[in-house]
């Protein structure tokens, strides 16, 4: 066990300098972990152990993708991509999207987007199994500071989505219909999540597309 593993607990916020954060996330022990840094604190988040997280992560990506196809919305998906402003903050959402004309701003060939040279995504999504309170709390403030347009938290246990629009320099506000994906009701996504508990992805996707196109 490395010295870093002993010193830095996972799945919680720990006071640390930026250099300490970089050293931690580069430790091979955390190769599959997600890293966050905000307000002088780091969070090393280990992969969830339950199957529901993987299932909901997959289905939410399918639903957003299907909506984009149905409505002719250009999109570029990033899975587990890190958004970094060196020395200041970093976030690694489960899924993120550049949408519409902004797809041309999405960098390629890297899993770490330097926000000094590139723009943040339009939509960031966290799928919460054991991390719900943090996703709704400290991480929400992190995504506000990151400058995304919308931030969604998927509650795996309750098949519920809490969606926020980010208001520049004014925090965030709860929404029940997406503004970056006009016409997409959060309640429709939640119903699709509930159906995914008994239906396979193809069945859920077909049902969802029928609702969107009706």
pLDDT in tens, 7-20: 689 999 999 999 99
pTM: 0.92
Task: Return the higher-pLDDT residue of 27 and 48.
Answer: 27
Domain with CATH 3.90.1570.10 in the chain: 50-213
Contact 146, 124 (CB under 8 A): yes
The answer as to CATH 3.90.1570.10 being correct for domain 50-213 is yes
Digit-coded pLDDT (tens) for 57-86:
789 999 999 999 999 999 999 999 999 999
pLDDT in tens, 111-169: 999 999 999 999 999 998 888 999 999 999 999 999 999 999 999 889 999 999 999 88
Structural contact between residues 83 and 113, judged by C-beta atoms closer than 8 angstroms: yes
DSSP label at residue 136: H
Q: What does the CA dihedral 129, 210, 186, 198 come to, rounded to 10 degrees?
A: -30
Edge-first strand listing for the sheet containing 160-167: 75-79, 95-99, 123-128, 150-155, 160-167, 171-175
Distances (CA, A) of 73 to 89, 140, 184, 207: 30, 26, 12, 19
Distance separating alpha carbons of residues 185 and 194, to the nearest angstrom: 15
């Amino acid at each position: 066990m490395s010295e870093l593993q002993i010193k830095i607990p996972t799945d919680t916020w720990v006071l640390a300098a930026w250099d300490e954060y970089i050293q931690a996330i580069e430790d091979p022990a955390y190769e599959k972990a997600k890293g966050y840094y905000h307000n002088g604190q780091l969070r090393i988040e280990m992969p969830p152990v339950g199957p529901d997280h993987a299932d909901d992560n997959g289905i939410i990506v399918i639903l957003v993708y299907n909506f984009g196809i149905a409505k002719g919305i250009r999109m570029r998906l990033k899975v587990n991509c890190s958004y970094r402003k060196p020395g200041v903050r970093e976030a690694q959402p489960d899924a993120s999207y550049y949408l519409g004309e902004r797809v041309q701003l999405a960098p390629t060939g890297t899993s770490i987007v330097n926000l000094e040279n590139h723009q943040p995504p339009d939509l960031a999504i966290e799928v919460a199994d054991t991390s719900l309170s943090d996703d709704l709390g400290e991480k929400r403030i992190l995504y506000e500071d990151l400058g995304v347009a919308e931030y969604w938290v998927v509650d795996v246990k309750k098949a519920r989505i809490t969606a926020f629009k980010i208001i520049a320099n004014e925090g965030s506000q709860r929404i029940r219909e997406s503004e970056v994906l006009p016409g997409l009701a959060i309640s429709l996504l939640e119903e699709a999540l509930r159906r995914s508990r008994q239906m396979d992805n193809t069945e859920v996707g077909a049902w969802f597309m029928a609702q969107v196109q009706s």
